[in-house]
């Protein structure tokens, strides 16, 4: 039995409108199924159901619009199924563009902010440590829980919108103290000990961590003290892809790590050989193999990553057949496009894909050749989603391959 507070009863009784009442009724069923004893207020929401998967996405959202619904908390939108800003790049079904546009417009009518990014933590007022939120999108979930120390459970399509319309969620999962405690210690080698460049190291580490700790909250021991947010983003995204990782702690790095009671926890070891095996698995391409494109920005590129890419391509020229796509948010794309210091990036022919990710929305028109990426998430999902050969490698090797038109050694 769920103990309801006055706000919960008011929502159910329609005091906050018919849309909120309908959303709260759905959340009641969700809470009962998950064994919740009460609800908790959230301070923001991030919606994944805005990514068009079929008519049900539109039907569900339109119903709340017809009922006069408005979101109760600041609400951002995850990526869409297509970059409607550059329809000429879209290589998928043409009917997807108007369907996605309609779905985005419906969410905007509900008061959602059309950020259309999988990395909302890069462009908004970020949740504080301990603050409850309702975020969907796997990499955003693991980032907000682990790196920011705020609290969200795994919210999927439609439950996320219900949370936004009510500002309430069942107090279950990673909202609860007991479910955020470390359950195992994972001893890891440093990048130097693994003899692996840092960008490749964090992608591989996340991929192995996700597979080795399925259903657990791991505490990482040995992560470099100077690990950046972009590196944690890459690690978390890969782990969420390979093993549904939603929360990790890293000693000396993440906000809740030093609060953990680790006495008696089992210790797992990830070795340099494990990391190399992951890279081998995610990079089946061979030196000399033809390259079709470089795809970066999964999750969406930060402005810091753009500066690194700009420096990496300075004075370099890609082979005529090679396209380089970088997925990012509208806001960061506008910053890059307005800054004259990004001339090297433009000279290299980098195309900024907004509102989506290129492992979801096919943009590589050239069918002959592999797609190269620095993202463990892209390398994990790309082969199945795109039916293409994908190779995970360092940024430097991606750029050298773009210059050659073939996979660099």
The closest of 365, 139, 130 to 259, measured between CA atoms, is 130
Question: Rounded to whole angstroms, how far apart are CA atoms 295 and 356?
Answer: 12
- 116 within 8 A of 360, measured Cβ to Cβ: no
- 174 within 8 A of 131, measured Cβ to Cβ: no
The pLDDT of residue 123: 76
Report long-range pairs for 380-386 (Cβ below 8 Å, ≥24 apart).
380/207, 380/238, 380/241, 380/242, 380/282, 381/241, 382/295, 385/359, 385/360, 386/359, 386/362
Residues 267-298 pLDDT 10s: 999 999 999 999 999 999 999 999 999 999 99
Query: Considering only 56-60, 124-128, 401-405, which range has the smallest mean pLDDT?
Result: 124-128
How do beta strands 218-221 and 249-250 pair?
Answer: parallel
- Mean pLDDT for 117-136 is 93
Residues 48-99 pLDDT 10s: 999 999 999 999 999 999 999 999 999 999 999 999 899 999 999 999 999 9
Name the β-bridge partners of 221: 187
* Position 124 pLDDT exceeds 70: no
* Domain 283-404, architecture per CATH: 2-Layer Sandwich (3.30)
* Position 206 pLDDT exceeds 80: yes
* Position 303 pLDDT exceeds 80: yes
Structure tokens at 250: 């890293």
| Percent of the chain scoring above 70 in pLDDT | 100
| Domain extent listing, the chain | 6-178, 181-280, 283-404
The pLDDT of residue 83: 94
Residues 207-232 pLDDT 10s: 999 999 999 999 999 999 999 999 99
Domains 6-178 and 283-404 share a fold: yes
Query: Considering only 83-87, 243-247, 323-327, 328-332, which range has the smallest mean pLDDT?
Result: 83-87
β strands within 89-163, DSSP E: 134-135
The closest of 145, 138, 92 to 118, measured between CA atoms, is 138
- 92 within 8 A of 139, measured Cβ to Cβ: no
- Residue 156's pLDDT band, with cuts at 50, 70 and 90, is confident
Question: Rounded to whole angstroms, how far apart are CA atoms 24 and 166?
Answer: 6
The pLDDT of residue 146: 98
Q: What dotted CATH number matches 6-178?
A: 3.30.499
């Amino acid at each position: 039995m769920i103990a309801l507070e006055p706000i919960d009863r008011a929502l159910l009784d329609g005091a906050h409108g018919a849309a909120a009442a309908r959303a709260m009724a759905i959340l009641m069923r969700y809470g009962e199924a998950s064994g919740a004893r009460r609800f908790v207020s959230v301070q923001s929401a991030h919606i994944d159901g805005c990514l068009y998967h079929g008519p049900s996405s539109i039907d569900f959202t339109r119903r709340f619009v017809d009922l006069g619904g408005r979101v109760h908390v600041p609400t951002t939108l995850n990526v869409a199924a297509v970059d409607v800003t550059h329809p000429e790049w879209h290589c998928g079904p043409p009917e997807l563009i108007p369907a996605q546009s309609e779905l985005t417009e419906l969410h905007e009518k509900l008061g959602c902010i059309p950020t259309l990014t999988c990395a909302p933590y890069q462009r908004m007022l970020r949740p504080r440590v301990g603050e409850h939120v309702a975020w969907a999108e796997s990499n955003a979930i693991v980032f907000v829980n682990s790196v920011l120390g705020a609290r969200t459970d795994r919210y999927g399509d439609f439950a996320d919108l219900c949370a936004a319309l009510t500002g309430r969620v069942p107090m279950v999962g990673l909202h609860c103290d007991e479910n955020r405690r470390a359950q195992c210690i994972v001893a890891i080698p440093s990048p130097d000990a693994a003899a692996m460049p840092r960008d490749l190291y964090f992608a591989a580490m996340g991929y192995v961590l996700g597979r080795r700790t399925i259903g657990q909250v791991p505490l990482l021991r040995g992560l470099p003290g100077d690990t950046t947010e972009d590196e944690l983003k890459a690690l978390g995204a890969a782990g969420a892809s390979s093993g549904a990782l939603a929360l990790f702690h890293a000693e000396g790095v993440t906000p809740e790590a030093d609060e953990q009671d680790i006495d008696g926890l089992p210790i797992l070891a990830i070795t340099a050989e494990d990391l190399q095996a992951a890279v081998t698995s995610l990079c089946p391409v061979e030196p000399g193999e033809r390259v079709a494109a470089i795809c970066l920005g999964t999750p969406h590129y930060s402005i810091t990553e753009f500066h690194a890419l700009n420096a990496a391509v300075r004075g370099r020229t890609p082979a005529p057949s090679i396209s380089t796509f970088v997925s990012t948010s509208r806001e960061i794309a506008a910053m890059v496009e307005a800054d004259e210091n990004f001339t090297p990036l433009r000279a290299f022919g980098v195309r900024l894909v907004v509102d989506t990710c290129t492992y979801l929305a096919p943009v590589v028109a050239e069918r002959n050749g592999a797609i190269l990426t620095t993202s463990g998430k892209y390398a994990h999902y790309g082969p199945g989603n795109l039916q293409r050969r994908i190779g995970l490698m360092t940024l430097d090797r991606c750029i050298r391959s773009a210059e050659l038109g073939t996979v660099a050694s």
